[in-house]
Each structure stands twice: as structure tokens, then as C-alpha cells.
């Protein structure tokens, strides 16, 4: 029997410190935890910082799957079955500190320590529910509503904290990938959110609680959801100029 089992096992201590089969790693902004196609030989627990999961298509197009924050696991698919290859890449979007847990050690502690397996199961259920909600959002909601929802999720509304939150740095291209639209549409909606006072946008995005109006009220922007038709506007201007 191991020394860990001789004393009371504390999941928080396990996830906060290095030990047999695990070590603390520091990843710089834009640095990789792992890349698509590399061996799936470990799991990371994000102690601080933010990260993102991305996938790369065979033609070289990269898409962001989800954003990750402190208190979440990264690369949990490595324990799903026989060791294989990573199906996605994980990159830091700020300076990160993480606990790298070797695959064998992760499997051992899941089998032997029920307190830890309970925490990990809750994480997997939350991730599954988030994935299902993302699918429903993609199928039934407008791109404007999808953008509002992802900004609110990034600001972690619904959790204890300040009513107005700065979200991790993210490009409009990444936001467009996540909600399934174009960068120009994201820019259009972001400018409108800012004009309406839902967000502040100066290097970092500050999300106000009032952005919930977009998510909660389906008809809030029904009359103005589409981008103005530039071609028709230009034609009207030309007609006025001819008449003058």
C-alpha cells in the first residue's frame, strides 16, 4: 500500500503539488501543452491562466474548439482507452501554470482515490453538458446570440465574482471559428454591442451583465439582426445624385 493511501488523501493537495508521476509546468503565452498528432501520454490540470483547444484540418485550416480556464483538465482523452495520438492541440492564451500528470498515474489515482474520481467525473459531466449546449446553440441560435453567449461564458457570468468582467485575450478570428461565422460579422456585432453599452472594447474586452439581454430575449435584435445591404444603400445614393 502506498504512503498516499496510509494518510487521508486530499485531492486539492494532489492537484496543487508535484509528486510521483506528476510535475508543475509553466507554459508561456501562445506556448503548446501538446499538439495534434502527438502521443496522448498525460493529462494537464490548469492551476492558473487560460488556454484553448484547436483542431487543424488536412488543408491547414485551424479552428478553436473551446477555451479553458483555471480549475479544468486538459487532454483528458488520453485515458479514454489504449494510448493513442492527440486529436487536437492545446495552447496557452496567457501565461499558465499547470500540473502535468502522467497517464499511468492519472489512471491509478482515479481507480484508488474516490474523492479524486468524483471531482474528475463532475468535470467530465460539466464538459459534456457544455458541449451539448454548444451544439444546441449552433443549431438554433443566430450568430449574434451565439457571440453574446460565448462572451458571457468567457466572463464566467453565473459564478461568484464581479458583475463586469474582463475576458481572456482572444482574436475576432477565434471568436468567429467558435460560433461558426465570419470575422467581419463578429466585428459588426462587437461594434454594436459596444455602442449599446453591453461591452467595452479597448485592447481587452470587458463584458457587462446587460449583455444577458441578447441571450435571454430572442426578439431583442430581430429588426436589426442583419448587416445593412451595402449594395442597395450605394444604389440609392447614386439615384439621389442623378436626380440632383
Share of the chain above pLDDT 70, in %: 82
Same domain, residue pair 123 and 56: yes
pLDDT digits (tens, 9 = 90+) for 137-189: 888 889 999 999 989 888 876 555 555 588 877 889 889 988 889 999 999 99
Report residue 219's pLDDT band, with 50, 70 and 90 as the boundaries: very low
Same domain, residue pair 89 and 205: no
Which residue shows C-alpha cell 509546468? 25
Of 81 and 150, more confident: 150
Same domain, residue pair 125 and 153: no
Instruction: For residue 199, give its domain range.
Output: 142-243
Q: What CATH number is associated with residue 114? A: 2.60.120.10
Same domain, residue pair 26 and 128: yes
Domain boundary among 84, 108, 137: 137
Q: Average pLDDT, whole number, for the chain?
A: 84
Domain boundary among 111, 137, 163: 137
pLDDT digits (tens, 9 = 90+) for 101-149: 999 999 999 999 999 999 999 999 999 998 888 888 888 889 999 999 9
pTM: 0.74
Amino acid at each position: 500500500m502506498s504512503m498516499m493511501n496510509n494518510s487521508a488523501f486530499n485531492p486539492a493537495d494532489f492537484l496543487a503539488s508535484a509528486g510521483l508521476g506528476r510535475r508543475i509546468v509553466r507554459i508561456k503565452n501562445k506556448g503548446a501543452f501538446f499538439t495534434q498528432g502527438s502521443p496522448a501520454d498525460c493529462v494537464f490540470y490548469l492551476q492558473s491562466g487560460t488556454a484553448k483547444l484547436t483542431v487543424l484540418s488536412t488543408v491547414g485550416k485551424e479552428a478553436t474548439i473551446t477555451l479553458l480556464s483555471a480549475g479544468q483538465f486538459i487532454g483528458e482523452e488520453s485515458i479514454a482507452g489504449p494510448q493513442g495520438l492527440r486529436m487536437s492541440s492545446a495552447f496557452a492564451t496567457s501565461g499558465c501554470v499547470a500540473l502535468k500528470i502522467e497517464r499511468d498515474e492519472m489512471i491509478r489515482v482515479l481507480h484508488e482515490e474516490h474523492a479524486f474520481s468524483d471531482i474528475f467525473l463532475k468535470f467530465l459531466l460539466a464538459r459534456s453538458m457544455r458541449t451539448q449546449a454548444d451544439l444546441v446553440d449552433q443549431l438554433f441560435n443566430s450568430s449574434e446570440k451565439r457571440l453574446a453567449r460565448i462572451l458571457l461564458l468567457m466572463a464566467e457570468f453565473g459564478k461568484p465574482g464581479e458583475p463586469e468582467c474582463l475576458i481572456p485575450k482572444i482574436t475576432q478570428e477565434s471568436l468567429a471559428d467558435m460560433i461558426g461565422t465570419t470575422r467581419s460579422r463578429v466585428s459588426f456585432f462587437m461594434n454594436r454591442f459596444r455602442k449599446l453599452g453591453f461591452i467595452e472594447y479597448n485592447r481587452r474586452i470587458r463584458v457587462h451583465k446587460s449583455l444577458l439581454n441578447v441571450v435571454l430575449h430572442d426578439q431583442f435584435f430581430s429588426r436589426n439582426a442583419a448587416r445593412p445591404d451595402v449594395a442597395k444603400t450605394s444604389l440609392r445614393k447614386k439615384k439621389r445624385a442623378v436626380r440632383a
